[in-house]
Structure 1
Amino acid sequence: MALGVVGASVCLLVFLAILSLDIMGFLSWKNQFPVDGKTVLLTGGSQGMGRGLGKLLAQKGANVIIVARDVKKLQAAVEYISAAAKSQTQRFHYIAADVTSEAENIRLLEEATTWNNGQTPEIVWANAGAAKPGLFLETPLETMRRQMDINYWAAVYLAHTTLKNWLYPSDASAHSTTIQAPRHFIITSSSVAWCNIAGYGTYGPAKAALRSISDSLRSELNLYNGARRSTATTTKPAPYDVKIHAVYPGSILSPGLELENQSKHPVTHELEASDPHQTEDEVAAAAIKGLERGDYMIATNWLGQLMRVSGMQGSPRDSLLWDTVGQCITSIAWLFIGPDMEGKVWNWGKKNGMPAAPKS
């Protein structure tokens, strides 16, 4: 009898564990990111990864609004994206804006909301970014400030205005008692956020800051999502949860990569020599696949996955098994990878000598 009690207890614990994992989404195979019929606002959408995302979202039935500065590129991109539409009822739009400005982010979201029949888009993707690599001492401080503006502040400005509109909506329909699908705010960071190297001191810190703000927002939104289920709240909440995701691509074969290669130091090229490269369609497919799984931190290639699990710290786990085992494996691998990367930079200096003195 005692053995039977023990056996039943073990079975119950296993069942509860599986049930808990399923409730948390770890064992769910349901699409966690359905976009058919929804509106997606996408910054940095005129080329590269953004254009690839717009095309794939159109194929999946989304209405797509892309944002960038160059009107001609936006017009060409909208034509390219809309040609991939799943149905004739889908709508496409572009907004020319400088996303490094707080006021411009407020304006573009207002325009997107008006275009979307007075409702804030259900999915907002802060994808705009640009790299200007180079040795730290050779890079003007003003360039570093601009890198922070486009790669960090642009996403923060958009998150600030979007989340306020989602969590405290002004339109009456958003206060419906009918539970609606979650809203998704997505931030495109970079795999360099996990491991920065020589030559990316101007770019990597901004992308690492995006990882940090993503963790903070994901944690903070639990407060609002929990309050939606409370009977004690005096402010009527919106009838949906809000989810945060962060995407960490590596090298993307795009005009942006061609531009950054112009200022990239030879030692950075050497460190990245064996890194995988993805087309805009490949990186878009990997990002969307991760979102459909319900993942929070999405690396788009195998190298990014290894970098992700090796530097997760206190970030939420997408896969309990892979992320735990992967951390153990990569912690050992870094005993060899780290010295090898350090040695490459040291040997480059030994072989080529002192770089020219930076201009004052």
Structure 2
Amino acid sequence: MGQKWSPKGKHCYVTGASQGLGLCTALQLVREGASVSVVARDRAKLEAALTQLETNRISPSQKLTIYSYDLSTAAGAQQALQAACELFGGQAPDAVFLCAGASRPVFFVEATEDDFKGQIETIYYTALWSSWAAAKLMARQKVHGKIVLVSSTLGLMSFVGYSAYAPMKFALRGLADTLYSELLLYGIGVHIFFPCGMFTPGFEEENKTKPGITKKIEEEDHPMQPDVAAAVLLKGVKNGTYSIAADFNTKVFRATTQSSSPYGNLAVKFIFEVIGWFGVAAWRRGVDNSIRKYASEHDAYLKQKGFFDKPPHAA
């Protein structure tokens, strides 16, 4: 656990905040008295988000602004941050919440080059370039701010269907662990959030391409409402928690895969580890058995799609 933190009176910069977790996080920050800069690509969604932010402000002194930028490039991330800071005299934000990202589950052998490149850009690069820009600005100005990355339960474990998505969420954990260590040099706090599935427009979109076996494995899961997940995220950041998990299953996976990542209460971690020793192994066996049983159905699916009719080296 780190020091307690409050967003009241602070400038919070939130990416991917035109909908879903990002928007809910921005709304809760506004309700707690923060000035909030929201960044996303879709201008129409940003305008709608700004209307919601305005109706939730608690003080006329709060500065609520929206910016449309492509954050998947270093230049775009730099320009977006610079634009957001102009209203504050060029001062770095007090906290940066990196919520941008989307999932497109597909079978590995059916995925296209664009599927992989797209997930790298929308998940990893959007977080990398924004955290890079923010860290440099905070370090130069000696602002002891916060950088908050958003991974996923699928940044701790994975299974069929998520070959393009999960590796990028794993990568964010590696980035966060490294930044947590290195940014101690500048007094900058780093946090990472591992939410489970959420009922968002993005969740609805990913279900359009999600393989049937993936849906079957997930049928016992209980997705969260994004406002509930946002509340968990902010509680963790306010309490100074480095690794934040929103539900029981994610806490088990986190405990069994934590390695040298910073952790909080050792007793609680040990309890979840013990549960994981038995529970995760049983879960894995069950998942693998489901996939094996699905193999013949999958073979028929690939035949129907003409997969086997393509040349061996076809893309």
TM-score range, shorter chain: over 0.9
Aligned to 1:18: none
Instruction: Write the deviation string for residues 95-127 of structure 1: whole angstroms up to 9, x where unpaired.
Output: 100111110101011111102222111111111
Q: 2:54 aligns with which of 79, 82, 103?
A: 82
Return the alpha-carbon distance in structure 2 between the equivalents of residues 146 and 335 of structure 1: 32
Q: 1:134 aligns with which of 106, 120, 138?
A: 106
Aligned to 1:153: 125
Counterpart contact for 1:106–1:158, Cα < 8 Å: yes
Return the alpha-carbon distance in structure 1 between the equivalents of residues 23 and 280 of structure 2: 35
Regions of 4+ moved over 3 Å: 350-355, 357-360
Q: Which residues of structure 1 form unaligned runs of 5+?
A: 1-23, 175-179, 226-240
Aligned to 1:37: 9
Counterpart contact for 1:275–1:303, Cα < 8 Å: no
Q: Which residues of structure 2 form unaligned runs of 5+?
A: none
Say yes or no: does 1:58 pair with 2:39: no
Q: How does 1:259-298 map to 2 (within 5 A)?
A: 259-298=205-244
The structural deviation recorded for 1:310 is 1.7
Return the alpha-carbon distance in structure 2 between the equivalents of residues 60 and 354 of structure 1: 54
The structural deviation recorded for 1:354 is 4.1
Return the alpha-carbon distance in structure 2 between the equivalents of residues 324 and 82 of structure 1: 44
Return the alpha-carbon distance in structure 2 between the equivalents of residues 87 and 207 of structure 1: 36
Q: How does 1:122-201 map to 2 (within 5 A)?
A: 122-169=94-141, 182-201=144-163
The structural deviation recorded for 1:79 is 0.8
Bigger radius of gyration among the two: 1
Counterpart contact for 2:119–2:165, Cα < 8 Å: yes
The structural deviation recorded for 1:336 is 1.2
The structural deviation recorded for 1:351 is 4.7
Q: 1:118 aligns with which of 90, 97, 100?
A: 90
Say yes or no: does 1:104 pair with 2:80: no
Q: Aligned with 1:340: secondary structure?
A: helix
Query: Over aligned residues, Cα RMSD in angstroms?
Result: 1.5
Return the alpha-carbon distance in structure 1 between the equivalents of residues 298 and 6 of structure 2: 53
Q: Aligned with 2:56: secondary structure?
A: coil
Aligned to 1:246: 192
TM-score by length of 1: 0.82
Return the alpha-carbon distance in structure 2 between the equivalents of residues 87 and 307 of structure 1: 41
The structural deviation recorded for 1:329 is 2.3
Q: Aligned with 2:77: secondary structure?
A: helix
Return the alpha-carbon distance in structure 2 between the equivalents of residues 82 and 310 of structure 1: 42
Say yes or no: does 1:216 pair with 2:178: yes
Return the alpha-carbon distance in structure 2 between the equivalents of residues 258 and 276 of structure 1: 14
Counterpart contact for 2:33–2:57, Cα < 8 Å: yes
The structural deviation recorded for 1:339 is 0.4
Counterpart contact for 1:276–1:303, Cα < 8 Å: no
